[in-house]
Chains A and B, each alone.
Chain A
Amino acid sequence: MHELSICRSIVDVVDRHAAGRGVEVINLQVGELRQIVPDTLVYCWTLVTADTALASSQLRVDRVTAAIRCKACGHGTALTGPILVCEACDGRDVEIVAGEEFLITSLELVEA
C-alpha cells in the first residue's frame, strides 16, 4: 500500500506547481517495471484528496512498456514479463532502457 504515501508526494508536487489554480488532470508516466498499480493509485488519490482543493482532480496514468538492450549484441527487447534476457541472443548482460519511469509529466489547470 505504498500508493498512499506516493499520492501524498504527488499532492506536494501538484500544489507547488499549481500555485493555487484549479487542477483538472494530473498526467503521470508509470513504467511497467514499477510496482505501482494504476487502479490502486487512482483509488488512493480519491482518499488522499477528499475534502481538499484537489478532490475533483483526476489522475491519468500513461503506462510505459519495459524494454532492455543487450550489451553483447545491441538488440532491443520489449518486455512482456520481468525476465531480463535478450530475445535475440539469450544474453543476460542487459540494461533496462525503459519501464522504470515514474514522473508527473504535466498538469491541466483551469484557465486563469
Chain B
Amino acid sequence: MGRFHRHEDGQEHAHDEAHVDRGDHSGYATGTDRVEILERVFEENDRTAAANRADFDAAGVIAVNLMSSPGAGKTALLAETLRRLRGTVRIGIVEGDIETSLDAERLAGFGAQIALLNTANGFGGECHLDAPMVRAALGRLSLGDIDLLVVENVGNLVCPAEFHVGEHRRAMVYSITEGEEKPLKYPVMFRSVDLVVVNKMDLLPHLDFDLAAFRANLADVNPRVRVIETSARDGSGVDEWCEWLREGVQVAA
C-alpha cells in the first residue's frame, strides 16, 4: 500500500509512519490520550484470506474469485464451463447469494462440488463474500478432490471488490446490456480484476452498445486487464474463458 500522498499545498512526500492530518485538536487537548494504532481495517479479513490461500496451495487448488452485477450471466457461464470441463478438471464452487439456492441448483448435475453460502443471516444480508464466510464454506468441500475452485460472489459491483477471500486470480463477468460507462462508474471493481469476461455478445446486433468505447473506458481504469468476449448462450468465446480458468491448474494424471 502506498505511503505517498499529496498535501493541499502541493507537496508530495513519503511517510514511514502513516500520518494523520491533525487539524485543530485544541478542544480536546486535555482529557484525552492519543494512542497510535496504524492497523489496516481489512487486517482480520486478509489474515483469514491468507489462511484460505495456504489451504488452497497445500491442496494444489487454484482459486478464482468471480464477480459481476446481478444478472450479468455468471451462473449461465459457469454452467457452460462445468459442462465443458467436466471429466478433465475437478471443479469446486462456492456459491454466494443473499437468499435462495436457485443458482446452486442450476449448477448441480455437472459433477462439481458445490457449497452454498447464503449471506442473509446477519445484519440484513451481506452484499459480498468475505474471507471468513469462504473459510466456513471450505469446511463443506473436499479440497483434496478438486483442482480448481470458483468462488461465485454475490452479484454486486461495489462491495465484493473490497474483500479478498484468498483467491489466486480475480475475474468479473460484465454483460453488454449494462452500458459502456460502467468501468467509470465502478472503477474499484473493474480495477481489481485480472480478467473481464464481456458476456451476452450474441445480443450485440440488437443493442446500441459501443464495444470500442467500453474497451477504452476499461483501459482507462485498468490498463493491464485481459478481456474475453463470450456468449454463454451460444457458447462463443467460452473455450477461451475455460483456457484462462485452467491456467496454472495442475490436473492429477
Contacts and interface: CB of A to CB of B under 8 A. Distances in A.
A17 B38 CA distance: 11
B206 interface: no
Interface string A65-102: 10101000000101001111100000011101111111
A98 B40 CA distance: 15
B244 interface: no
Nearest to B17: A105
Which label, helix, strand, loop or mixed, suits the secondary structure of the A interface?
Answer: mixed
Contact of A109 (B33, B123, B222): B33
B187 interface: yes
A62 B19 CA distance: 10
B42 A102 contact: yes
Contacts of A8: 123
Contacts of B74: none
**A-B pairs with lowest CB-CB distance, top 10:** A82-B187, A92-B223, A2-B159, A97-B2, A98-B5, A97-B4, A108-B32, A83-B220, A98-B2, A109-B33
A111 interface: yes
Contacts of B4: 67, 69, 76, 97-98
Contacts, number: 148
A29 B33 contact: no
B44 interface: yes
A35 B158 contact: yes
B124 interface: yes
B41 A6 contact: yes
Given A24-B32, A29-B18, A34-B162, A84 B37 contact: no
Interface in B162-176: 162-163
B191 A82 contact: yes
Which label, helix, strand, loop or mixed, suits the secondary structure of the B interface?
Answer: mixed
Contacts of B126: 2, 5
A109 B128 CA distance: 33
A6 B40 CA distance: 11
A83 B217 CA distance: 8
A106 B12 contact: no
A87 B18 CA distance: 27
A97 B5 CA distance: 8
A2 B28 CA distance: 31
A92 B45 CA distance: 31
B35 A111 contact: no
B41 A13 contact: yes
A95 to B, nearest CB: 8
A9 interface: yes
A66 to B, nearest CB: 9
Nearest to B186: A35
A42 interface: no
Interface string B1-33: 111111000001000001111000000100111
Contacts of B42: 9, 102
A110 B32 contact: yes
A35 B188 contact: yes
